[in-house]
């Protein structure tokens, strides 16, 4: 992470700064009582950000396509179009 943030010009206090930022991120993302349930976990000498698939645009898009495919298989294109329309309206609303 130090290299990603500062490249070859990292300050001597880089690790401490990153630990502070990660601590603040953990608090901002909703501290979990159980550290295993935290969105940011310490792994070895690094950190891992864990998010549910539908929390990311790609995950939401994949979920949308899966629902549309199910609707298509269960009853036709009209149901799939309705699923796509509702979900796309929600996505557009998130970025408006």
How many angstroms separate the CA atoms of 53 and 62, rounded?
Answer: 9
How many angstroms separate the CA atoms of 20 and 24, rounded?
Answer: 6
How many angstroms separate the CA atoms of 73 and 62, rounded?
Answer: 16
**Structural domain boundaries enclosing 41:** 2-93
pLDDT of residue 68: 80
pLDDT of residue 77: 80
Q: What is the pLDDT of residues 2-53, one digit of tens each?
A: 898 999 999 999 999 998 998 888 888 776 565 556 788 878 878 888 877 6
pLDDT of residue 1: 85
Number of domain units in the chain: 1
Secondary structure (3-state) at 32 = coil
């Amino acid at each position: 992470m130090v290299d990603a943030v500062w490249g070859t010009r990292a300050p001597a206090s880089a690790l401490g700064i990153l630990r502070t930022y990660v601590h603040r991120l953990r608090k901002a993302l909703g501290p979990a009582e159980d550290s295993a349930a935290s969105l940011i976990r310490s792994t070895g000498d690094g950190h891992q950000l864990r998010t549910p698939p539908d929390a990311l645009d790609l995950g939401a898009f994949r979920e949308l396509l899966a629902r549309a495919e199910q609707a298509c298989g269960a009853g036709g294109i009209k149901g799939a179009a309705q699923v796509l329309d509702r979900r796309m309206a929600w996505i557009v609303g998130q970025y408006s």
